[in-house]
C-alpha cells in the first residue's frame, strides 16, 4: 500500500502534509503536490494533515490512475519538505469538481 495525492489538491496545494512526512516523499508542482509511491512507507501521518482531504490510500477504488499520476510527476518535480502558504483562492476551490481538467499544470514548483 501507498498513499497518493488526488485532484482536490490542485489549485489549493496545502503543504501541511510535507512537514510530517518522515521520508520526504512529497514533490511539488506549480499548483499540486504528489507523493512518490515507491518512496512512501505507508505510515499514513500525512493523510489527516491535509485540509483538502486530497491524500488517499491506494487501496481505495479507482486509485490506480492516481498512483501512476503521482509516480510520473514525482520523477519530474523537486522534493518539498517545508510548509508554504496555500495557493490564493484555495478555500474557494477546495472540493470543486473537474480541477484536473480546469487547473492542472505540469510545470514544476520551487521545491524546498
Query: What pLDDT does 21 receive?
Result: 98
Query: What pLDDT does 27 receive?
Result: 98
Query: What pLDDT does 103 receive?
Result: 97
pLDDT block averages, 10 residues each, the chain of length 112: 97 97 98 98 97 97 96 98 96 96 97 94
Could you tell me which residues come within 8 angstroms of residue 37 by beta carbon, excluding any fewer than 6 positions away? 2, 4, 58, 67, 70, 71, 74
Q: Degrees (nearest 5) of the Cα angle 45, 67, 28?
A: 65
Query: What pLDDT does 91 receive?
Result: 95
Phi, psi of 35, rounded to the nearest 5 degrees: -110, 135
Q: What is the H or E stretch that residue 20 is in?
A: helix 16-20
The answer for 34, left when phi > 0, alpha when psi is -120 to 50, beta otherwise, is beta
Query: What pLDDT does 12 receive?
Result: 97
Query: What pLDDT does 83 receive?
Result: 97
Secondary structure letter of residue 60 according to DSSP: S
Amino acid at each position: 500500500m501507498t498513499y497518493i495525492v488526488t485532484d482536490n489538491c490542485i489549485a489549493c496545494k496545502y503543504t501541511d502534509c510535507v512537514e510530517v512526512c518522515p521520508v520526504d516523499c512529497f514533490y511539488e508542482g506549480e499548483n499540486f503536490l504528489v507523493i512518490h509511491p515507491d518512496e512512501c512507507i505507508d505510515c499514513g501521518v500525512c493523510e489527516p494533515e491535509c485540509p483538502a482531504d486530497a491524500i488517499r490510500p491506494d487501496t481505495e477504488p479507482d486509485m490506480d490512475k492516481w498512483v501512476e499520476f503521482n509516480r510520473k510527476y514525482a520523477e519530474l518535480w523537486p522534493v518539498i519538505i517545508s510548509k508554504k502558504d496555500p495557493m490564493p483562492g484555495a478555500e474557494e476551490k477546495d472540493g470543486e469538481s473537474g480541477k484536473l481538467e480546469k487547473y492542472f499544470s505540469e510545470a514544476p514548483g520551487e521545491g524546498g
